[in-house]
Amino acid sequence: MKRYDICGLGNAIVDIFLQVQDSEFSQMGYERGTMRLVDLEDQKTLLNRFSKGGHELQLVSGGSVANSIIAASQLGGQCSFIGCVGDDRYGLHYVEEFKDLRINMGNPVIVGE
């Protein structure tokens, strides 16, 4: 049986980063330096607007537990993360990033989600 220094259980959240002008951002009712969760409709609107403007999207695996597991792994710990992801672009990115970081996720993909 493989042993781990730390195993975390959490939400597998993917953060989407892009660089925009303050004016573009404020026109949509957002404030610089803040974090805001958005629903699927708002996400589609934002991604559609900014991807047409030539903005490059950067996907980063996140979530508070996952961030802690990533940090522990980068400090040399043998880590595992338990969290489910769908078989979409974001879920597959999450799994691939954790694989690259050598963090065990087991078999987290839920097909059709």
- Domain count of the chain? 2
- What is d(CA 7, CA 81) in angstroms, rounded to the nearest whole number? 6
One domain for residues 52 and 65:
no
One domain for residues 74 and 112:
yes
Highest mean pLDDT among 13-22, 28-37, 76-85: 76-85
- Among 69, 62, 55, residue whose Cα is nearest residue 14: 62
One domain for residues 65 and 91:
yes
Is pLDDT at 4 greater than 90 in this prediction?
yes
pTM: 0.77
One domain for residues 49 and 77:
no
One domain for residues 83 and 44:
no
Go through the chain and tell me how many residues it has. Answer: 113
- Predicted local distance difference test score (pLDDT) of residue 71: 97
Domain membership of residue 37 as a residue range: 19-56
One domain for residues 24 and 69:
no
